Structure formats: C-alpha cells, structure tokens
Amino acid sequence: MDNFEELKKLANIIRQDIIKMLCEAGSGHSAGSLGMADVFTVLYFNILEKRPKDPWWEDRDRLILSNGHICPVLYAALAHAGYFPVEELKTLRKMGSRLQGHPKARELPGVENSSGPLGQGVSQAIGFALAAKLDKKKHQIYVISSDGEQDEGQTWEAVMFAGKHKLDNLTMIMDRNNIQIDGFTEDVMPLEPLKEKYEAFNWYVIDIDGNNIEEVIDACNKAKAIYEKPVLILAHTIPGMGVDFMEFDPEWHGKVPDNKERKKALKELRTLKGKIEFD
C-alpha cells in the first residue's frame, strides 16, 4: 500500500481496535500500543516481505517484538494484514485465547518470538540476523524495542555484538516515547545521547518522527541500503497518540480506559476518520 492517506486511515483503525481490545480485556498497555500504530501500519502494509496465507514462508522478513507489552498493536496489524480474523481481536487476554498478554512464538500466525522480559528482543533478533547471514539468505530482520529497555545491560551487549558482526540485515526501530512504567525515562535512568551511543557501537542511526507515515517509510527504505552496519531507526513517538488525555502521560503506560474514557477515546479517534472494526 503506497497511498499515504490510506495508511494514515488504517493506522487510525488500528488505534480504535487497540482501545476496543484493551477495554474488552480489562487490562493491558495503552500508551505504547497507540504510539506505535503508525510504525506497525507501515511495516505490515508497505515494508515487510510477507505472505499472510503462508505465514512461515522461508524467505519472509522477520519482525521481532522485544517490548511484548505493546502486543495489542502487533495483533491488530497482523489481523488487518490477513494473518487471522479481525474478530479474534476481541479475545485479547481471555482464557484460552491465542492473543496472550505477551506474545508467544508461533501461537498466532506471524508471531516470530516470545516476549515479556524486557531487554531480550535485540538479542533474539541478532540470532535471526546472524543465522540469515550464515545461510546466505536475503530476508531482513526488524526488531521493535522500547527506550525503557535501554536500561537493560543485555541490550548493550547485543548492540556491541551486532556492530562487531556488521549485521546490515538488521534494523531496530526504537520507540522513543520518553516514558516507562515508573515515569519519564530521563528521570528514571537518563538515556541520552542515544544516537551518539549507537554510532559509537558501529550502528547507522536514522532519527525520525515515528508518527509521520512518510518519514517511517523513508527510513525503512534507507535502512535496506546501508552496508556493513546494523541500523537503528530512532522513532520519536507520542505515547497514547490520538487520545488527548493519554498523550505524554506515563500513567497510561500500563493502564486501560474505563467505560467513560473508552467512549471519549473512540470519539476522538473517529474524528480522525476510519471505521470501527468491531463493537
């Protein structure tokens, strides 16, 4: 899908579905899921080489989700891309559901890795990328990571490893939304200067507005052309994007709307266009 306006509308539909899913479940993570809707829309409808009806096609691009708590946006994107029925989104976090609160590898078509403990996804993605190199495969490995995960020592060991081995088939997209469960990242554990830190470990860094569809597409395409370096797309996003009472508020990291807030959130998102997929 190359039409920017259509991609924006689809991202808005995905945001509406996220609100519905979380309220149906009664638990989950709102802010990061909403903030990353534009990135996931671009990946699944413009960038990834994939076959939803043949989800384990050998030459597919792999997407690894490290910050597994934002799985509502992953599930919504997968459903709209045709991996499983959109109606199944209603079952998020329900007993017996395939849509667990943190993803389980291959429990759903398109889910490549299990995630929950933060800081491990980059290492998982490096395993995929190194294996592809050794097997002389051409597919790309994408990993979604949170800025809060940069507090984890394992992340930096992985970053060093990827730089040393020149894994140019690896692209990390970091959700730089400046919040984590305990508050603002720069209060909890200051992270800056992130760009310079990654460059020091032999990564190529692209700084973008992660809620700008065109910038996300351009960055992902540029990443494919970088030689002998892994790529970090530093995606600055608005946590809770599209819902004014959630935006920039760390309280919404792991909180879901009540019924009144649900109605207000959906009303706001409806004004941005895009229909509700399930009620």
The reply to whether 267 falls in a domain is yes
User: Is 200 among the domain residues?
Assistant: yes
Tokens for 220, please give them. Answer: 């992902």
Is residue 130 in some structural domain?
yes
Tokens of 260: 């009144």
- Does residue 167 lie within any of the structural domains? yes
CATH number at residue 199: 3.40.50.970
pLDDT tens readout for residues 223-240:
999 999 999 999 999 999
In a domain? residue 209: yes
Q: Is 123 helix (H, G, I), strand (E, B) or coil?
A: helix
pLDDT for the residue 275: 44
Amino acid in position 202? N
Q: Which domain holds residue 260?
A: 4-271
Report the domain count for the chain: 1
CB 73 within 8 A of CB 241: no
What share of the chain has pLDDT > 90, as a percent?
Answer: 92
pLDDT tens digit sequence for 118-140 = 889 999 999 999 999 999 999 99
In a domain, 175, yes or no: yes
Examine residue 276 and state whether it is found in any structural domain, yes or no: no
Is 278 domain-assigned? no
pLDDT in tens, 159-214: 999 999 999 999 999 999 999 988 899 999 999 999 999 999 999 999 999 999 99
Chain-centroid distance, C-alpha 178: 15
